[in-house]
Amino acid sequence: MSARSFLNDKALVLTSGGQDSTTCLFWALKNFKQVSAISFYYGQKHAKEVVVAARICKKLNVDLKKIDISFLKELVHSNLFKGTPDVNKTHKLDASVPASFVPYRNLLFLTLASAWAGTIGIRHIVMGVCETDYSGYADCREVFIKSAQKTLNLAVDFKELGVIIHTPLMRLSKAREFRLAEQLGCLDFILTETLTCYNGIEKKHEWGKGCADCPACELRAKGYGEYKRKFLKKSNRI
Ligand SMILES: [Zn+2]
């Protein structure tokens, strides 16, 4: 179904102050009548993302619900939590998975977002997951999102308020995501306002803010370089 069919509906966007979720916020603002947001503090090293998410929502005049689920770090392993070793390693539980992976995080996020969405009468949920640059995060795959939507709707069996999960970035490379931001008219905003860095460092670069060293910064810098080469070649490249 085209997103154009949803212009009379409201959407709830999961937001972290990063490139992906902020691009989704702009996408939702274009495709839905009204947009709300939700963000989670879960004991992550880059807790600044919650502050950045609030700043971004304020600038975009979007209501933000902030939820503390820092108990998660008592239950699962991840080097994304404060006080843990470097994220540039493999996961303690499985060497094929990045150390930054937080098991069950997206399932928990979607469950809590669905709970809040139902409470405020919203059925459309927007999440910035992507399987194109898949780096071992099983809960960013389309097969997981579809399954989660089915499970969430089976869990309540609401006839009118079942959730519909939208993932506009699912099949986009980082370069194409920058292109989408350009098309949505928010590329400058993405480059100057968002923070994707696992270390929460706000040092400015051509591709945005970050430490330039963590996997998230590396992916972003590489994607921006590719965006420039592929999409800015003939038009407004300086
Ligand atoms: Zn970084």
Distance (angstroms) between ligand 1 centre and the Cα of 213 equals 5
pLDDT at 43: 82
Stretch 210-233: mean pLDDT, rounded? 91
Least confident of 35-39, 99-103, 123-127: 99-103
pLDDT at 186: 97
pLDDT at 2: 47
Distance (angstroms) between ligand 1 centre and the Cα of 139 equals 21
Quote the mean pLDDT of the chain: 89
Distance (angstroms) between ligand 1 centre and the Cα of 175 equals 18
Residue extents of the structural domains in the chain? 3-192
Distance (angstroms) between ligand 1 centre and the Cα of 209 equals 8
Distance (angstroms) between ligand 1 centre and the Cα of 126 equals 24
Distance (angstroms) between ligand 1 centre and the Cα of 148 equals 29
Distance (angstroms) between ligand 1 centre and the Cα of 98 equals 15
**Whole-model pTM above 0.95?**
no
Tell me the per-residue pLDDT of 47-90, one tens digit each, with 9 for 90 and over. 788 899 999 999 999 999 999 999 998 898 888 888 887 777 77
With a cut of 60, say whether residue 237 has pLDDT above it.
Answer: no
CA 232 from centroid of its chain's CA atoms = 25
Higher pLDDT, 130 or 7: 130
pLDDT at 133: 66
pLDDT at 1: 44
Give per-residue burial for 104-135: e unless 16+ CB within 10 Å, then b.
ebbebbbebbbeebbeeebbbbbbbbbbebee
pLDDT at 172: 95
Q: In this structure, what token pair is assigned to residue 106?
A: 């997206």
Q: How confident is the model at residue 238 (pLDDT cuts 50, 70, 90)?
A: very low
Distance (angstroms) between ligand 1 centre and the Cα of 198 equals 5
Distance (angstroms) between ligand 1 centre and the Cα of 47 equals 13
Tell me the per-residue pLDDT of 147-197, one tens digit each, with 9 for 90 and over. 999 999 999 987 777 899 999 999 999 999 999 999 999 999 999 999 988
Distance (angstroms) between ligand 1 centre and the Cα of 129 equals 18
Give per-residue burial for 44-63: e unless 16+ CB within 10 Å, then b.
bbbebbbebbbebbeebebe
Show the 3-state SS of the chain.
Answer: CCHHHHCCCEEEEECCCCHHHHHHHHHHHHHCCEEEEEEEECCECCCHHHHHHHHHHHHCCCEEEEEECHHHHHCCCCCCECCCCCCCCECCCCCCCECCCCCCHHHHHHHHHHHHHHHCCCCEEECCCCCCCCCCCHHHCHHHHHHHHHHHHHHHCCCCCCCEEECCCCCCCHHHHHHHHHHHCCHHHHHHHCECCCCCCCCEECCEECCCCCHHHHHHHHHHHHHHHHHCCCCCCC
Distance (angstroms) between ligand 1 centre and the Cα of 6 equals 35
Q: Which fold has domain 3-192?
A: Rossmann fold (3.40.50)
